[in-house]
Amino acid sequence: MGLEDKAAKMIRTVVEVLEPQFAVRLWSGERIGPDGGPELVINDPLVIRRIAFRPKLDSVVEMWVSGQIDVQNGNLFDLAALGTKTKLKHRLKDLPKWQLVADLPAVLFGRPSEDSRLSGRNPFDPGSSKEAISHHYDISNAFYALFLDKGMVYTCGYFTDWSNSLDQAQTDKLDHICRKLRLKPDERLLDIGCGWGSMLIHAAKHYGVIGHGVSLSEAQTALARERIRAEGLEDRITIEVKSYEDLDGVFDKISSIGMFEHVGSARYESYFSTVDRLLKPGGLYMHHAISRRAKRGKKAFRRKSAEHLALVKYIFPGGELDHLGMSIENLEAHGFEVHDVENLREHYGRTCRLWAERLEARFDEAIKEVGAPKARLWLLYLTGCALAFERGTVQINQTLASKRVRGPSGLPPTRADLYR
């Protein structure tokens, strides 16, 4: 029995035990499992070899990116929704391990498989750097335009109704933040990690602020400046390719929307000290950031899941997530008073799902723009993020704080103005 026959036999055995609610189609065309519906397609018998040598999530990611595994008659969301009849960890113990081991040598010593171009060690250190930011954000502005809203907002939307469009949700999110910051005409607003300039443009157009942004992405900044010129806002908004740590001056309000994840825990002290230095006494700061759930101890929290490690390796090099309590502790320790925390987890789940669906709908264009491996990686990433937020694996919170002063904060007595 040759390599392909042995590999097919092993896959049949695993499928029979795990009982997935979707079919598995082999490279030979053989179909295993229920009729109809989505299929997990295995295009290369050497996936068994790869998993045997590297039984990690990395291997699955790289097999997906290379096209060794794929989905037909549906998408990744469909496979995730169907799953298996019982929990995977309960089924794994029922696998006939000795039978699988007996068939493994033929697979292990078959023809060599090409390593994915994404294999290898993570070259980025924890914390943001220009190289790490470029890895994620300087892919192609045209690529991001395929799945983002028309305002190019690459952060969690805000759905006042779950049926709202992505464009509406992102406009509502920007306005929600502007209201939380109680922006007023001619106030100086700093947006840390300003991306394609959406927050600054919205705040200048609708609230009359004087905006300044910083970013480490050359590609994003170039497009942001074009968009500012198109809006006729060059006299109201400036953007620099610069680290927030190198900024001078004092601002009335500061926003940080989806940027803090890149800072890295080793630089939290510097980050919060810098925000404190740049914000006027009594000024408001919006801390919009993804977080992980807290654990019973710091040691347990420092342990990262396989999904988290893969995300950092392939998508957000150098990124780290704190927990909500850590954010609040750091804010209070650096001279801030926390006024409001809003959990937007389900909003981000909905946002990421829409991004993934929009990217899939224009997938041929995405491949032409960035190549099949990168397009497949981003589709996997957006789908995984959607599922993580929907299932509560990760959180996202908007935390409003002010630079502490003695006496009244100056904020309204209720939140009614936020939800007009």
Catalytic sites, residue numbers: 385
For residue 37, count CB atoms less than 10 angstroms from its CB and return exposed for 0-12, middle for 13-18, buried for 19 or more. Answer: middle
Cα four-point dihedral sign 384, 47, 306, 260: negative
Residue 121 neighbours by CB distance under 10 Å: 6
Beta strand segments in 111-157, E: none
3-state DSSP assignment of residue 257: strand
3-state DSSP assignment of residue 85: coil
**Separation CA 117–CA 66 (nearest Å):** 8
Residues 6+ apart with CB under 8 A from 67: 43, 372, 376
Count, residues in the chain: 420
The H or E element spanning position 204 is helix 198-207
**Separation CA 169–CA 158 (nearest Å):** 5
